[in-house]
Amino acid sequence: MIDIAVLISGGGTNLQALIDACARDDFPARIALVISNNPGVKGLERAEKAGIATTVINHRDFETREAFDDQLHEALNDCGAKLICLAGFMRILDARFVNRWRNRMINIHPSLLPSFKGLHTQERALEAGVCFSGCTVHFVNPELDDGPIITQAALAINPSETADELAARVLELEHIIYPQALRLVAEGRVRVVGNKVTISGAEYSDQKIINPVPE
């Protein structure tokens, strides 16, 4: 059993997926602390409802990014977390912090990385005319939305759907792969080798999807 901390900035539907997973008897992780950089967000309510300790570390209260990150680091050490899950945490962390937690911090991003790093991923996917979107769980590197990929999920895009509709469909996949990736990491099955991971005992899909569907 590994103690984790989840960092959020908002609604926390991914946090909820992790809370629900951790509630299962056979799940190898426990959430020791939820930290939000924004006060009053729904994610904090979700944690409190589940009886999980929460704290707000508001970045606006700090003069520098380093001072904010130091406070985060202290809170994470105090709660005994061995792994950080970023779940819609919308602050860039400085390289010093990321290096302290290298290979011990994972993130979920709503695109098939390395495509569409940053914000507004589904709008940009639709604008680019790509036929697939998806989401990625990866270890965090100092570069934005970068680092060894653990799991990905893909879906076919219908060009007539809106970015919000697409984002909602991707979010459903996020809620499946984040707990899956956390389980793999918590079970000690994920090894980082260079900029890639190897996962012991993982079964890989050989599924092919063509979009638009051939007539």
Verify whether residue 138 is a known catalytic residue: no
Residue span binding ligand GAR (CB under 6 A) among the ranges 4-12, 22-30, 65-73, 97-105: 4-12
Phi/psi at 134 (nearest 5 deg)?
165, -160
Hey, is 70 helix, strand or coil?
A: helix
In 43-189, at which residue ranges do the beta strands (DSSP E only) sit?
54-56, 83-86, 105-109, 132-139, 149-156
Site string for ligand GAR, 130-169 (x = CB under 6 A): ---------------x------------------------
Determine which residue in the list 108, 126, 149, 197 makes contact with ligand GAR, applying CB under 6 A. Answer: 108
Q: State the nearest-atom distance from the C-beta of 33 to ligand GAR, in Å.
A: 17
CA 33-150-3 angle, to 5 degrees, is 20
Whether the Cβ atoms of residue 126 and residue 166 lie closer than 8 Å to each other: yes
Q: State the nearest-atom distance from the C-beta of 107 to ligand GAR, in Å.
A: 6
Cα separation of 32 and 80, whole Å? 7
Site string for ligand GAR, 85-104 (x = CB under 6 A): --xx----------------
Determine which residue in the list 31, 105, 109, 184 makes contact with ligand GAR, applying CB under 6 A. Answer: 109
Q: Which two tokens mark 55?
A: 């704290």
Q: Residue numbers of the site for ligand GAR (CB under 6 A)?
A: 10-14, 43, 87-88, 108-110, 145, 171, 174
